Structure 1
Amino acid sequence: MTRIDEASWTRSLRALFGEGMFAAVGARRHDDWRRDALDVMRLATAEPRGWPRQVSAPGGAPYAPGPNGPFGAVTPNDFTGVFPVSRRGAEQIVVTLQGEWFQTDEIPDFPAREAELMSHARGVLDRFGEDSLFFTNAVSARNDPHADMFRREGTYEGFTEHVMDCGVIALSATEVGVFWGFTID
């Protein structure tokens, strides 16, 4: 695991998250991490390190905080639709967010770019430390948190009202990150 700093975080975030994507981090303040994840999803908490976040709606406009954002209708009960996933699986999912329908075959020139994209995903998730936990709404993780998420079924427990959404929630003892992609049509 490498040490992440603001410059490498920003570089990896920009390489992985663009228009119509969501990448934000907040502090862990509650015993129930789901409450902290909801605060991040609703953009109701500051970035604890002051580092950049990427929360761009389709068309490039920033996502609105609160109930008008992509996670506005999410409740704590919705977290029954997330499953533990290995660090490697979480990295793979973050990479697949680049492709339409969250599949590697939809990522332009994926075979040539796989190592670079995985390096960026590793950099983003290294922020959360060695003891971090990861969760996803990719159903393939339900029965096997160590499944190859590049070869997974395209089935997800939706968190939003978009046609499809997929992502990773990363937890450390002090921070929670939400990294998500959306298919709007």
Structure 2
Amino acid sequence: MPLPADQTALDLLDAYLEALWDGTDLPLSPGPVRLAAEGGGEPVHWALDQLRRIPREPKDAFARQVGGLLAEFRYRRCPWNAAALRLLNDTYTFAATGPRRYEDWAHDVRAVLHRSVPDPRGWVRLDWDRTNAARHTVPAYPFDPPDTSELPGRLYRLEAEAAVAALAIMAEEWQSEPAPVRSRPDRDAVLADARTLLDRYGPTARYWTNATTAASDPAPDFLAAGLQGTESHGFLTSEYHNGLDLLEDLGLIAVTDDEVGVFWSFGAY
């Protein structure tokens, strides 16, 4: 099924800005950008106007400013993007959604972890390691996903409200967190953003986590425990890259008939 013209325009401009942010030397008005300008609405025209105002030299300053523009463009694109950026953009996390193509959704989860499928709606993907050179040797870095047959055995079912709390505490740091979500003055706003993200998957979504506390209780109190008090079955590689040891992680998977959402928090030192 073809995408609506406005979504196509948004996707084209998003990809173009991301390429500029990565340092690709592209002309200001290539064919895809002209198509985006013709088919896009207010966010597209606003972003293109802002882009024209950014000096292209020096290149490192240009890339930084384009990165800021891309973040703001994604924020304006839809409320889901805005919630994802508010909640998770300041911590080492991974957030991505892919299509559900298999009865055994473990195949779909692995595809998301390997970045081999796009978001079906073109919404934001948060991925600190998207361009990390470590992926040349560990393609799913920082993940080392178990085989499809083994993946469900490392996960436990969660009730919907527990899934909201698990996602909310991914806004915390693993070490030396000065303000756990449970004690923040904006606690309700953090939970609201987490709920917005999971509302995408609808009321029939099923949730899974690698947190071992869910082995005996599908509704553990993640807020009370916080990240520092949460243990899990690790999904991370043991490979040492870029001076980082990957030691802790917490994952949440949402499964529907059409999509799989993957949210992960990492402790790295």
- Per the TM superposition, whether the score is higher than 0.5 is yes
Which amino acid in structure 1 is aligned with residue 105 of structure 2? W
Aligned pairs (5 A) from 1:1-185: 7-18=78-89, 19-57=91-129, 62=131, 64=135, 67-76=139-148, 77-101=150-174, 106-107=179-180, 110-152=183-225, 153-161=229-237, 162-185=246-269
The DSSP-based 3-state class of the residue aligned with 1:177 is: strand
Which amino acid in structure 2 is aligned with residue 156 of structure 1? S
Once structures 1 and 2 are overlaid, which stretch shifts more, 71-80 or 138-147? 71-80
Aligned-partner Cα distance in 1 for 2:99–2:181:
35
Which amino acid in structure 1 is aligned with residue 174 of structure 2? W
Give the direction of change, closer, same or farther, for the CA distance of 1:14–1:73 in structure 2 (3 Å limit).
same
Aligned-partner Cα distance in 2 for 1:69–1:32:
23
State the TM-score, normalizing by the size of structure 1: 0.86
Give the direction of change, closer, same or farther, for the CA distance of 1:36–1:102 in structure 2 (3 Å limit).
farther
The DSSP-based 3-state class of the residue aligned with 1:112 is: coil
Q: Contact 2:181–2:190 at 8 Å: present in 1 too?
A: no
Aligned-partner Cα distance in 1 for 2:256–2:175:
25
RMSD over aligned Cα atoms: 2.5
Aligned-partner Cα distance in 2 for 1:146–1:109:
16
Aligned-partner Cα distance in 1 for 2:176–2:156:
19
1:111 Cα deviation from its structure 2 partner: 2.6
Aligned-partner Cα distance in 2 for 1:131–1:109:
27
1:46 Cα deviation from its structure 2 partner: 1.2
Q: Contact 1:27–1:176 at 8 Å: present in 2 too?
A: yes
1:139 Cα deviation from its structure 2 partner: 1.0
Once structures 1 and 2 are overlaid, which stretch shifts more, 86-95 or 68-77? 68-77
Once structures 1 and 2 are overlaid, which stretch shifts more, 129-138 or 14-23? 14-23
1:105 Cα deviation from its structure 2 partner: 6.5
Give the direction of change, closer, same or farther, for the CA distance of 1:35–1:42 in structure 2 (3 Å limit).
same
Question: Which structure carries more helix by proportion?
Answer: 2
Give the direction of change, closer, same or farther, for the CA distance of 1:53–1:79 in structure 2 (3 Å limit).
same
The DSSP-based 3-state class of the residue aligned with 1:67 is: coil
Aligned-partner Cα distance in 2 for 1:92–1:41:
22
Q: Contact 1:20–1:181 at 8 Å: present in 2 too?
A: yes
1:103 Cα deviation from its structure 2 partner: 10
Aligned-partner Cα distance in 2 for 1:45–1:181:
20
Aligned-partner Cα distance in 2 for 1:102–1:149:
16
* Count of equivalent residues: 178
Unpaired runs of at least 5, structure 2: 1-76, 238-245
- For residues 125-172 of structure 1, the C-alpha deviation after alignment (integer angstroms, 9 at most, x for no partner) is 000000000001111111010222212442111111320110200011
1:52 Cα deviation from its structure 2 partner: 1.3
The DSSP-based 3-state class of the residue aligned with 2:250 is: strand
The DSSP-based 3-state class of the residue aligned with 1:44 is: coil
The DSSP-based 3-state class of the residue aligned with 1:163 is: strand
